[in-house]
Amino acid sequence: MASSIKGFSKWTKEEKLQWLAKTYFSESEEVIQLIKTYWNSDEDLQKLHDEFIENTLTNFYLPFGVAPNFLINGQSYTLPMVIEESSVVAAAAKAAKFWSERGGFTAEVLNTEKIGQVHFTYKGNAEKLERFIDAIQDQFYSDTEALTQNMRKRGGGILKIELRNKTQLLENYYQLHVTFDTKDSMGANFINSCLEQIASTLKLAVLQYEPFTAEEKELEVVMSILSNYVPNCVVRASVSCAVADLASAEITNPQEFVDKFVQAVRIAEVEPFRAVTHNKGIMNGVDALVLATGNDFRAVEAGVHAYASKEGTYSSLSHAKVENGIFTFWVDLPLALGTVGGLTSLHPMVKVALKLLGNPNAETLMQIVAVAGLAQNFGALKSLTTTGIQQGHMKMHLKNILNQFEATDDERKNAILHFEKNIVSHSAVVELLESLRK
């Protein structure tokens, strides 16, 4: 184990790399060379990547692929997707093609509110605190004017500041629950800056409020931070068609397919163990597009899964029904996304991804991302309720297994031909390679 070191962040990249390789790897020179092969030959581009985070050593590549044939609100899209899972892009593209022939996807933004909170403790009369917050409301807005000026010009800003009494959950705990609209930016830095100013205003105003006792003036701000839970920043994506129109090469009995499909969704609505995997499938599409467009997929994941638990039990994010012979499948997702600021204006491939999508505003991107999630979910459920998930997934995974065993071009051709009629498994591929190599 390495001993503690000081000043690591101030070392050069070469010094960090040398220390890491020699401290943790017996084959240090090979590791150094491997890491350096992922450096970009364009020094300016590499410098840009190096400065995204601290202590950068190299680049970690993920595939950047595209899924064509997405018809969304009557407009055609090709979606950029960044992901390592072999079958995701293929499933998305297949679902997109399927629905492009049946009217496409519909999407709408239901709301765009985002939340930030100033958490504080207060020992005193709750009604007196309420009167105090009411009295300084205007000051909160005036003290943040410089921060919100540009956002207000775009139609956003602070929408509401309300006091919430949480003392039934935690002794002396209150919060200022602040609602924002950040328009085309994700708005994390904007929200946090506003919250810190609101907290500063609160602390100063408390000391000057004469009705407060000495103890009440000891109000203490614990922290000021945005929330990644955005239940009022929601987009809905859906598909719908007559049951009979679902007929295809794989769906020979549309009514039987729909019955199983709807039942599969209902199982995910009531069974958390299934719901987690069900929703993970939705997030395959969501995360891939969120990553490609330079947004924060960890924030999206956290908010989405909290939303899936909003009724007290973890449940499916998507829903399905059949009414009067019409099949409808939809998903509601809380998505706080941006198309300006952060990596959207820095990462060259993010710029490519956004341009590919027609340089959408935040609301349009929300709709596209929700559609990607719904398409992914439809593809997975369609496979599960017809051929089974492994057939397609393992055939896509075949290339990875062949790469793992360094298969030659001839071995690849033989393997692909063989597994057109045989079930793919890791052991089956190994067995085939061993027989070919004899």
CB of 110 closer than 8 Å to CB of 235: yes
Tokens of 180: 């924002």
Within-domain flag for 61: no
At 316, the amino acid letter reads S
pLDDT at 399: 74
**Within this chain, do residues 306 and 206 fall inside the same structural domain, yes or no?**
no
At 139, the amino acid letter reads Q
DSSP label of 229: -
pLDDT at 393: 54
Within-domain flag for 335: yes
Q: What's the length of the chain? A: 438
Within-domain flag for 290: yes
Tokens of 283: 């997030």
**Within this chain, do residues 365 and 399 fall inside the same structural domain, yes or no?**
no
Q: Is 393 a catalytic residue?
A: yes
**Within this chain, do residues 255 and 282 fall inside the same structural domain, yes or no?**
yes
CB of 114 closer than 8 Å to CB of 181: yes
**Within this chain, do residues 105 and 189 fall inside the same structural domain, yes or no?**
no
Within-domain flag for 62: no
Of the CA atoms within 13 Å of residue 416, those in its CB half-sphere come to 11
Per-residue pLDDT of the chain (438 residues; tens, 9 = 90+): 566 889 999 999 999 999 999 999 999 999 999 999 999 999 999 999 999 999 999 999 999 999 999 999 999 999 999 999 988 999 999 999 999 999 999 999 999 999 999 999 999 999 999 999 999 999 999 999 999 999 999 999 999 999 999 999 999 999 999 999 999 888 899 999 999 999 999 999 999 999 999 999 999 999 999 999 999 999 999 999 999 999 999 999 999 999 999 999 999 999 999 999 999 999 999 999 999 999 999 999 999 999 999 999 999 999 999 999 999 999 999 999 999 887 777 899 999 999 999 999 999 999 999 999 999 999 999 999 987 655 555 656 677 788 888 788 888 877 877 877 777 777 888 888 878 877
Catalytic residue (choose from 280, 347, 418, 426):
280
Q: Is 418 a catalytic residue?
A: no
Q: Is 44 a catalytic residue?
A: no
**Within this chain, do residues 378 and 401 fall inside the same structural domain, yes or no?**
no
Distance CA 267, CA 275 (A): 8
DSSP label of 101: T
What's phi and psi for 116, nearest 5 deg? -135, 155
Tokens of 433: 């390679």
**Within this chain, do residues 120 and 209 fall inside the same structural domain, yes or no?**
yes
Is 191 in a helix, a strand, or coil? helix
Last residue of a domain, one of 226, 250, 283: 226
Q: Is 280 a catalytic residue?
A: yes
Within-domain flag for 60: no
Tokens of 253: 């009995």
**Within this chain, do residues 242 and 102 fall inside the same structural domain, yes or no?**
yes
Q: Which pTM was predicted? A: 0.86
**Within this chain, do residues 244 and 382 fall inside the same structural domain, yes or no?**
yes
Within-domain flag for 2: no
**Within this chain, do residues 214 and 242 fall inside the same structural domain, yes or no?**
no
Last residue of a domain, one of 199, 226, 253: 226
Catalytic residue (choose from 119, 183, 296, 382):
296
Residue 104, phi-psi category: left (phi > 0), alpha (psi -120 to 50), beta (remainder): left
State the residue range of the domain holding 218: 114-226
**Within this chain, do residues 239 and 360 fall inside the same structural domain, yes or no?**
yes
Last residue of a domain, one of 347, 367, 387: 387
Catalytic residue (choose from 85, 216, 259, 363):
85
CATH code, domain with 293: 3.90.770.10
pLDDT at 397: 66
CB of 72 closer than 8 Å to CB of 50: no
pLDDT at 216: 95
Alpha helices (runs of H) in 163-271, residue ranges in sequence order: 188-208, 254-270
**Within this chain, do residues 289 and 366 fall inside the same structural domain, yes or no?**
yes
Structural domains of the chain, count = 4
**Within this chain, do residues 343 and 303 fall inside the same structural domain, yes or no?**
yes
**Cα 182 to chain center, whole Å?**
18
Closest by CA to 279, choosing from 311, 319, 312, is 319
